[in-house]
């Protein structure tokens, strides 16, 4: 019997209804219904490094290094050393956050939520975030998931922290970490069938003596799920402060690797994107391990490459704060309106063999570790040598008598050479990265030999070239090398600044590209000294217009390189540079510097920096540099948090003896050299051994004033406080001492009536007018 045909209108209505329902299903589908997008699995742990990975002991991680994209993690938290809770809080907040610090410095043992359902210690996490100035909001990720209805599953205590909402209750489903590999594989497989995001805590690896301890407020962990004790359990994770019975790194790594392998096995059927990230230190600060497989947020595959992110812009390096935006982007949630510190983790270009990639990461890791061993000693020795130079210069330069006879002449020559060598030490510390000293069997010794080699080379070139006949020639050469190195480095990826003694260290995670605060201070002082060294002989020849153009052009170049996004990406530097170079340009042009001109220059500096920041902010969030992220923070109302953090850092650094010695000693010596010989009432204070120095170089006082103004503004705008002026002084004052010693060597009678070098200064054209401009 045939079924009677339905009327055509009924068929049409059915078709329309089916189409409407299909469109509604597409438009209003929850993330779990988007079958085309693979789920995301985050396997987090703490304390695991690439030097823990071997073929036999950690097969899961070894396989990841062969198949996926790999990288290093800068796990810096609020403090330089991060605890397990800090790493998981970074995932929860999307920015730096930390647990309340214990009096004994130990880290908290993480536990699963108890009967109340709240994450143990959550109140401490919230209180610590409120006390810090990073604007961290514990529960940010969980709240995002809850608001959008994205299903999520957490396995283990760290996952509970990552997925908790603002009240500390894990969003979605939370499970206790299974005790066996088979159970963990099954749990991950089932979770990925039902959830868009699954987070697994694979455990913590701790160095001997750094074991985690339970906090009094931490409830006891929930009992193991029934039935799991029938299978062969994974090796237990020991947590005890007794270093004698603590398991070795290798044993702990095997436990974590077994859990990682089990979790990855559970994800194979779903085709999930897998992120394996070590989120915190093992006790000693070091770069951590990261790996990824599957589909990246930008549509590329995590395979045969090094990981990177917009927050580091370095091949093979990411941050813990990059995990949150990667998870949100991976499951299709829009986070562009959120003020996250990190950027999406992406695969870089395909590279050579897996062995070469791992070797490159181990090399970066070793470099980052070794530079922390030499940087403190380098800074301390540099300060002590500067103190000796300041005292010697004050004695030798102010000593009366003829400088063409012993003992003054050899003392002045030794002072000049020593001052030039000391002025070359900062840029030489950056140039040490041109030779891989950290690969040596004796890396610390090799570092010092490489440093001394660069210092000797720069000093020799400064003393033997044709510029040596110019009073500012040798000092100008050292300043010129400093400017050239820092400018070229900023334009080629900051390979010299990163992990150099006076640069930015990867493990500190303060800056990964562009111009560091110390590099800015050196560039400022060196740029102004170089401008004076070039302009001074031009003024002597009556070429004021060319001299003015040179100073202005050099200043423009340095401002652009220092402040442009993607180059220096420095927020606090351009206003200081614009002010200083504008002041010096006005003086060189023969005009006077007034308060109105200074105010106008300051306004221009603010406008330029604001323009850089706005242009950078207009780019996609993943492409923004420090400038764009800072502007986004201002728009989100986080300006005062940033200002408070900078003030706190400045006050903390202000009492450091290393920088106080350099700053106070350098200022005192500069006053002695530049101001002490200035003629005053009745010439009573203008007849000393250095009385003719500022007459021989009329631009000297304007140069010192410009450097002082720039370093002062840099001190106020940057978060390194007194480090900025102290670093600039470390270059400027030795250059000044070298010039003063050279001038005295060329003025045997003390220079009271000594003509200026270079064949006679045309006083009406350059000397008197520049001096008058300087006084104005």
**15, pLDDT greater than 60:** no
Determine the Cα–Cα distance for residues 553 and 546; give it in Å rounded to an integer.
10
Residues 573 and 542 both lie in one domain:
yes
What does the pLDDT look like over 404-417, one tens digit per residue? 677 888 899 999 99
CATH of the domain at 164: 3.40.720.10
**335, pLDDT greater than 50:** yes
What pLDDT band is residue 158 in, cutting at 50, 70 and 90? very high
Residue 25 lies in a domain: no
Residues 405 and 331 both lie in one domain:
no
Residues 309 and 400 both lie in one domain:
no
The number of folded domains in the chain is 2
Among 330, 351, 372, where does a domain finish?
A: 351
Residue 5 lies in a domain: no
Distances in Å between the Cα of 247 and the Cα atoms of 45, 256, 374, 549 are 17, 13, 30, 67
What pLDDT band is residue 649 in, cutting at 50, 70 and 90? low
| pLDDT value for 683 | 37
- Structure tokens of 28? 């209003």
| pLDDT value for 243 | 43
Residue 345 lies in a domain: yes
Residues 401 and 541 both lie in one domain:
yes
Residues 119 and 197 both lie in one domain:
yes
Among 351, 377, 398, where does a domain finish?
A: 351
Residues 312 and 373 both lie in one domain:
no
Q: Which residues contact 303 (CB under 8 A, 6 or more apart)?
A: 67, 68, 69, 293, 347, 350
Residue 23 lies in a domain: no
**720, pLDDT greater than 70:** no
| pLDDT value for 618 | 65
What does the pLDDT look like over 338-349, one tens digit per residue? 678 889 999 988
Average pLDDT over residues 674-686: 45
Residue 184, domain extent: 39-351
Residues 207 and 87 both lie in one domain:
yes
Average pLDDT over residues 173-191: 95
Listed as own residue / partner, the contacts of 413-418 with beta carbons closer than 8 Å and 24 or more positions apart are 413/741, 413/745, 415/389, 415/737, 415/738, 415/741, 416/474, 416/737, 416/738, 416/741, 416/742, 416/745, 417/459, 417/463, 418/389, 418/392
Residues 168 and 264 both lie in one domain:
yes
**287, pLDDT greater than 70:** yes
Most confident of 283-292, 503-512, 561-570, 604-613: 283-292
Residue 554: which H helix or E strand, with range? Answer: helix 544-563
- Structure tokens of 507? 């493990």
**233, pLDDT greater than 80:** no
Average pLDDT over residues 645-668: 61
Backbone angles phi, psi at 721, to 5 degrees: 55, -130
Residue 21 lies in a domain: no
Among 297, 321, 351, where does a domain finish?
A: 351
Residues 343 and 450 both lie in one domain:
no
Residue 1 lies in a domain: no
Residues 403 and 296 both lie in one domain:
no
Residues 338 and 369 both lie in one domain:
no
| pLDDT value for 632 | 61
| pTM for this predicted structure | 0.80
Residues 395 and 518 both lie in one domain:
yes
Average pLDDT over residues 243-247: 62
């Amino acid at each position: 019997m045939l079924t009677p045909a339905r009327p055509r209108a009924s068929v049409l209505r059915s078709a329309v209804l089916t189409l409407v329902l299909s469109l509604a299903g597409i438009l209003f589908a929850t993330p779990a219904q988007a079958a085309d997008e693979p789920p995301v699995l985050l396997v987090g742990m703490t304390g695991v490094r690439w030097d823990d990975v071997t073929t036999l002991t950690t097969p899961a991680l070894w396989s990841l290094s062969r198949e996926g994209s790999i990288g290093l993690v800068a796990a810096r938290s609020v403090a330089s050393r991060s605890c397990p809770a800090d790493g998981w809080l970074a995932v929860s907040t999307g920015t730096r956050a930390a647990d309340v610090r214990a009096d004994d410095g130990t880290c908290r043992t993480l536990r699963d939520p108890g009967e109340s359902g709240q994450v143990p210690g959550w109140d401490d996490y919230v209180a610590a975030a409120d006390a810090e100035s990073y604007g961290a909001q514990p529960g940010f990720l969980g709240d995002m998931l809850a608001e959008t209805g994205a299903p999520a599953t957490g396995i283990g205590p760290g996952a509970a922290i990552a997925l908790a909402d603002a009240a500390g209750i894990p969003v979605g489903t939370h499970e206790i970490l299974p005790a066996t590999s088979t159970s963990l594989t099954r749990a991950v497989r089932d979770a990925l069938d039902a959830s868009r995001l699954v987070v697994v805590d694979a455990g913590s690896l701790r160095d001997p003596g750094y074991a985690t301890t339970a906090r009094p407020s931490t409830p006891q962990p929930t009992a193991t799920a029934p039935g799991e004790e029938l299978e062969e359990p994974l090796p237990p994770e020991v947590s005890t402060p007794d270093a004698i019975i603590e398991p070795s790194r290798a044993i702990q790594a095997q436990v974590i690797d077994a859990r990682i392998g089990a979790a990855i096995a559970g994800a194979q059927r779903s085709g999930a994107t897998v992120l394996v990230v070590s989120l915190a230190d093992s006790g000693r600060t070091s770069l951590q391990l990261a790996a990824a497989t599957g589909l990246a947020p930008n549509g590329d595959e995590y395979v045969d490459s090094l990981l990177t992110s917009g927050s580091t812009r370095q091949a093979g390096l990411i941050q813990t704060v990059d995990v949150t935006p990667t998870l949100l982007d991976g499951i299709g949630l829009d986070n562009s309106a959120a003020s996250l510190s990190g950027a999406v983790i992406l695969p870089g270009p395909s590279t050579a063999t897996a062995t070469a990639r791992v070797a490159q990461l181990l090399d970066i890791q070793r470099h980052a570790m070794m530079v922390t061993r030499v940087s403190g000693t380098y800074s301390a020795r540099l300060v002590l040598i500067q103190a000796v130079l300041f005292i010697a210069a004050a004695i030798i330069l102010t000593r009366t008598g003829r400088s063409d006879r012993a003992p003054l002449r050899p003392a002045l020559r030794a002072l000049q050479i020593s001052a030039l060598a000391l002025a070359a030490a900062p840029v030489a510390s950056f140039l040490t990265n041109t030779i891989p000293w950290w690969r040596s069997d004796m890396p610390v010794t090799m570092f010092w030999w490489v440093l001394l080699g660069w210092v000797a080379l720069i000093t020799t070139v400064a003393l033997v070239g044709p510029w040596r006949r110019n009073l500012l020639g040798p000092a100008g050469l050292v300043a010129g090398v400093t400017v050239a190195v820092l400018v070229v480095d900023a334009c080629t990826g900051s390979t010299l600044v990163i992990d150099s003694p006076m640069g930015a260290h990867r493990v500190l995670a303060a800056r990964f590209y562009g111009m560091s605060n110390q590099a800015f201070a050196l560039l400022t002082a060196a740029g102004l000294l170089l401008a004076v060294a070039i302009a001074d002989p031009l003024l002597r020849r009556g070429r004021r217009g060319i001299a003015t153009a040179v100073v202005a052009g050099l200043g423009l170049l340095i401002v652009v390189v220092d402040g442009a996004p993607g180059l220096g990406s420095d927020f606090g530097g351009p206003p200081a540079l614009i002010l200083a170079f504008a002041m010096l340009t006005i003086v060189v042009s023969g005009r006077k510097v007034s308060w109105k001109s200074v105010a106008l220059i300051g306004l221009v500096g603010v406008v330029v920096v604001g323009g850089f920041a706005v242009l950078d902010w207009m780019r996609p969030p993943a492409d923004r540099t420090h400038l764009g992220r800072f502007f986004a923070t201002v728009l989100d109302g986080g300006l005062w948090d940033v200002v408070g953090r900078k003030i706190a850092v400045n006050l903390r650094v202000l009492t450091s003896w290393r920088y106080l010695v350099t700053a106070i000693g350098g200022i005192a010596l500069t006053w002695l050299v530049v101001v002490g010989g200035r003629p005053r009432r009745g010439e009573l204070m203008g007849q000393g051994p250095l009385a003719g120095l500022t007459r021989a170089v009329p631009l000297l006082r304007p140069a010192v004033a410009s450097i002082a103004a720039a370093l002062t503004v840099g001190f106020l705008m940057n978060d390194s406080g007194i480090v900025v002026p102290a670093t600039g002084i470390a270059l400027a004052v030795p250059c000044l001492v070298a010039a003063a010693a050279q001038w005295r060597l060329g003025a045997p009678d003390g220079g009271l009536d000594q003509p200026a070098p270079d064949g006679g200064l045309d006083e009406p054209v350059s000397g008197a007018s520049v001096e008058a401009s300087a006084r104005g």
